[in-house]
Chain A
Amino acid sequence: MKRTERLVNFVSGRKFRKSWYAFIIAFFLIFVILPTVYVLTYTYTQWNAIQSNVLDNKETVDMILGAIAASFEIAAIVTIIDFVVGLPMAWMLVRKKFRGKNLLDTLIDMPLAVPTAALGFSSAIFWAATPSAMNAPPFALGAITSPMLLIILLHIVFSYPYMVRSLAAILEQIDETYEIAGQTLGASKLTAVRTITLPLFRAGLVTGIILCFSRSLSETGGTMIALSTMANSAGFNTGPTLIGTWKKLSGSNPELIPQLAFVSILLIIIALVLLVILKLVVMKVRLPMGKIWPTPEKILSRGLVPKMKDGFTVLFLAFFILIPSFFIFSFVATSSAAVGDWGPFLNSLGYSFAIAAIVTVIDLALGIPLALYISRNPSKKISHSLDILVNVPLIVPTAALGFSLGQFWTDQSLIPSVPTLLIILAHVAFTYPLVVRNVTGAMEEIDPSYEETARTLGAKPIQGFRRVLYPMIKSSILAGSIMAFTRSLGETGATQAVVSDVVTAPVYIVQLVNTNQYYLAGLACIILIIVSYAAMLLLRYLTRRKQGAL
């Protein structure tokens, strides 16, 4: 009893808390932020190499610019489509009452449970014209021959849930009275929504756009698999797949390093510029009320149109999201079984799990304190800048992040460059923000007076956290850790970019597809889906119970 008391007193001491927070911030800056953007220093230190190896070589420049342009085009188109079809879905989920709403609610999240490598394989079999060796089921669509279109369709599948969730979250917070007030003033439903609810919506919209855009920009594994599954992808590359391919070759050919650096730099800079534009500009622009067209909007507000809109929304979910996600099952069921060696896959699966578990533990141990620091810091400036920094690893494409981080640690030789350690550090860099953001979000909802009350009752800060705060933010911590876990489990781009020869489960699936072992790839995907889905169910179960208790 005495010893724990002394420990509590010690960790509650001013000195300890100061140095603890200093440590957390130092960790965040040195292990997360700095490696993420380290490669930018190459523009200064390695400019000559970049100049001679990349810029002087027109073919390489064209290839890089083509891939990057494709990446951003795809991300932009995907985000726009997600918004257009995600908004009516978010609306249905929040504002409407109907039978089967819970089912719909669960269906939306389904693609989140499927690792993108599996999604890529599954959607490509469904949509794309595939080589005959593959034996795609006869009811597969097999129609898409444009690699760009295929990738857009694929990215919609996994970014759609993010858009719907962020829009629904903010819609839930907008008081419906505003819309009703608009209607009592004579505005039709559509006019009221357009002139009142949508402008109030911006914060959620920005979050949704950032999430979708950065997810699409980052995605590597699924994209690579989809491209190698389709019959003729004709050397089509996105920024991340280019990094993945070159990094693999760079083992034997170190000449490729400047090119890799150049792609990564471009991806990072453009992504950061977009983040700044979205965060600072969009939130400050005041949308004018604009024109109002009472008669056409009135016609669109009533009768058949809204019903058709809802019908289309549900059909879109079924046809463009759910069927492509789970088409893999019908592929495996209709393929003739092939015998394969399961040893390597199980090894890679175990390896992936070990990595994901370690990463999640690190995220939690060092992420929650940072979230507490951000949300309870009296200085708005410090918490605001930390908050912006936390978003950086989220928006930077993970392949670029992985490459940058790999270079950082090998260049500095501060730590032994053991592949596993590098992979863990890379995965921590892009999953850490997930935990921090989830917990910060929950903390901001909680009135500080609870902790203050605990303090007035004599609790030390750490006791206040354990007894008062922790029970309230438990579900967000859980959500953050499961997000981090599944992201780490499904990640391909960063893993490939940091070390080229380590095989995690998604990387192994990419290899299977590349070597035309489709049936085994399919089975491996299904195992990955089942494992991730089990994790997802656990999350839903635990958070739902929490809601019930409230």
Chain B
Amino acid sequence: MPDVEMKDITMRWGNVIAAEDVNLKIQDGEYVTILGPSGCGKTTLVRIIAGILKQTKGGVYIDGKNMADVPTEERDIGYVFQNIALFPHLDVMENVSYGPRVRDVKKPEWERISHKYLELVKLLDKMKMFPSELCGGEQQKVSLARALSTGARLLLLDEPLSALDARVRVDLRYELRRLVKSLGLTTLHVTHDQEEAMSVSDRIVLMRSGRIVESDTPETMYMRPKSIFAAYFIGETNLLEGSIKKTDAAATTVELRDGTLIEVATTDFREGDPVVISVRPEYVYPAVAGIHAIVSSVTFVGTHFRIVAVADSDDKVEFDVPATVEREYNKGDDVNLTIDKRSAIVYARTPGELGEATKLE
């Protein structure tokens, strides 16, 4: 049963650093997602684990064994590619049976194995078709069956759903987790889609510019992110700049740039500290008093209206109102907003850091 450990992995291409001092341990049977904006080095990491790339420094251990001299084909992994990469000249059955056959499994046995995994992804009836005759979702399912048919206990998924249509992507997400969990595999899934990461994984590893920023369960990562970057990248959030006005055991009060005072749950900051409040749109409500703002746009999203307003403190605030609400919002309207005290998180603010933290590339 495999666990995977990366120790001090660094990957350089000339002057470009794709990964730097990455340490990550994945437990046996765990479903871990590496999440991050494009170019953050996440695909580089799985490719290093698979042995497709050779790291500049550091070591990969699968099941405690150093992989330094083990070529890709002997690492016993299943790998699903973003561009699907089904062999175009082989039919579905030949694609799925490729793994067992190159491992010298004899005919009745590889037929049985391929049937089993095609059955699992419910595509047994298409086994004589060629990849080009299948739609995107089916192709990726075949590619998953192909990766599983090697009997590998470690599955590496490199942006497996990004080439697919929105609807198929969502359906396949649940299918993926169900399959992987029922087979008890250790899985490392790479994606830039935070919603996907939250709905499939046991644990999310957030990466940025070649480094791991944070690692936690999806719930914690969403509810109590430890960094502004995590708060901003996972889900949506409003960032309000200010400084600590007063703090005691009961609550902390933050003064925004226009002097508006906001009370949040108590923090360890001291009076005068520059801070940023992060509060998700779903915890911002219209009220009779509170932060005064002017509506700058109203967008109908279906289940609700998304309203963007600019507060007197110059901070942009987004919030949602149900489509059924009596009051009608228009551009230019005055609104007063309050926030949920327990859901707001306060971060230290260093000059210029906010722009840096919210830069995605």
Contact = CB atoms under 8 A, between A and B. Distances in A.
A363 to B, nearest CB: 36
A191 B72 CA distance: 13
Given A175-B85, A287-B89, A302-B71, A187 B147 contact: no
B203 to A, nearest CB: 23
A301 B78 CA distance: 21
Contacts, number: 78
A177 B71 contact: no
A297 B108 CA distance: 23
Given A184-B78, A186-B150, A187-B98, A178 B85 contact: yes
Interface in B115-143: none
B94 A289 contact: yes
Contact of A185 (B88, B102, B104): B102
Contacts of A183: 52, 71-73
A326 B263 CA distance: 87
A180 B72 contact: yes
Contact of B104 (A181, A189, A295, A302): A295
Contact of B85 (A181, A186, A189, A287): A181
Contacts of A200: 88-89
A199 interface: yes
15 contacts: A177-B81, A178-B85, A178-B87, A181-B87, A184-B72, A184-B78, A184-B147, A185-B102, A185-B147, A186-B73, A188-B102, A189-B71, A189-B73, A289-B98, A294-B104
A178 B52 CA distance: 12
Interface string B41-62: 0000000001010000000000
A419 interface: no
Interface string B85-103: 1011110001000110111
Which 3 pairs between the two chains have the least Cβ-Cβ distance?
A: A184-B79, A185-B99, A187-B102
Interface of B: 50, 52, 71-74, 76-79, 81, 83, 85, 87-90, 94, 98-99, 101-104, 146-147, 150, 156
B90 A186 contact: no
B81 A181 contact: yes
A468 interface: no
A105 B150 CA distance: 39
Interface string A164-177: 00000000000101
Contact of B83 (A177, A188, A191, A287): A177
A180 B52 contact: yes
A276 interface: no
A182 B85 CA distance: 10
Given A187-B102, A191-B102, 18 more contacts: A178-B87, A180-B52, A180-B72, A181-B81, A181-B87, A182-B102, A183-B52, A183-B71, A184-B52, A184-B73, A184-B77, A184-B156, A185-B147, A186-B76, A186-B99, A186-B150, A294-B103, A295-B104
A134 interface: no
Contacts of B81: 177, 181
A96 interface: no
Instruction: Count chain B CB atoms within 10 A of each CB in A184, A189, A289 and give the residue with the most.
Output: A184
B147 A175 contact: no
A286 B128 CA distance: 14
A185 B146 contact: yes
A197 to B, nearest CB: 10
Contacts of B77: 184
B188 to A, nearest CB: 13
Interface in A291-341: 292, 294-295, 298, 302
A302 B52 CA distance: 15
